[in-house]
Amino acid sequence: MSHKPLAPETLRVVAQRFKILSEPARLEVLNMLRKGPLNVSELIEATGLNQANLSKHLQILHAGGFVMRRRDGLFVIYEVADHSVFTLCDLMCGQLKRHATAQVKQLRMVR
Amino acid sequence: MSHKPLAPETLRVVAQRFKILSEPARLEVLNMLRKGPLNVSELIEATGLNQANLSKHLQILHAGGFVMRRRDGLFVIYEVADHSVFTLCDLMCGQLKRHATAQVKQLRMVR
DNA sequence: TCTCTATATAACTACATAGAAATATGAAAT
DNA sequence: ATTTCATATTTCTATGTAGTTATATAGAGA
């Protein structure tokens, strides 16, 4: 009756990737990069995050392979590595809407 | 040049949903429920989680609308509410594989 | 070389949460 | 009513990490 157990290691690495997307700041960074590459200074302006904090988030996104980077003189330019991340976000939004709708219906039944 | 800013509230709730999926234990619970509904006792056995801990994870999954529950006598039966969560996981796995492959290629270039 | 600018890292604090143990709730059965 | 079983909740501890400040690195130019 039980389902084939996924390797604990698999569960860990997948969960870890979800964790990277579980910060509003990082989602905003990805969203800002949706239209195209930006350097760190532009991202500071676009997101309002302070330099050190943004840099940390960028390292995390980069380590997870969500963004690529290249140096251009003094600047470092970041860009989305895998646009399927936006598919993920859209799916998540869809679930969110369905869940919210279900909750509203539930409330209506109570009244 | 900057992208349309998403409402901070939107970013927060989407990030919060990703956070729910960012725990190996919760992913395992969902995976165990993939084939069909199970009660808590069966889930304890299937996952190896202790009762209190599993119960907490189930509350979190339920609050997020990932699972539904119903009582059956002494038992409480949980079931996946929205199977699109598995689409999310599959997408994440795909990204993971591409990222891993890219890293291997990168290593080859260094040698 | 020294200096300036852009970005990264270290060190720290504050807060969130996973896990475990103890206790509470709730439904059935005697 | 009380006992028993299944599940939920509370309380506590330990760990992880976001944000901030201060400092380090790296490249460009004088």
Q: How does DSSP classify residue A77?
A: E
Nearest CA-CA distance, residue B55 and chain A, Å: 18
The answer to whether some atom of strand D lies closer than 7 Å to the beta carbon of A111 is no
- Gap between the terminal Cα atoms of chain A: 39
**pTM of this structure:** 0.92
CB contact under 8 A, A84 and B99: no
* CA atoms of B24 and B57, how far apart (whole Å): 11
Which strands make up the sheet holding A38-39, listed edge to edge? A38-39, A75-80, A67-72
Look at the block and give the residue holding tokens 């690495």.
A13
Structure confidence by residue, pLDDT tens digits, B12-64: 999 999 999 999 999 999 999 999 999 999 999 999 999 999 999 999 999 99
**Domain B8-82 adopts which CATH fold?**
Arc Repressor Mutant, subunit A (1.10.10)
Q: How does DSSP classify residue B65?
A: T
Partner-chain residue, chosen from A22, A42, A87, that has the shortest CB–CB distance to B18: A22
Chain B contact probe: residue of A1, A11, A18, A33 with most B CBs at under 10 A: A18
In chain B, where are the structural domains located? 8-82
CB contact under 8 A, B95 and A87: no
Tokens, residue B14: 């989407």
Structure confidence by residue, pLDDT tens digits, A13-62: 999 999 999 999 999 999 999 999 999 999 999 999 999 999 999 999 99
Look at the block and give the residue holding tokens 């939004």.
A93
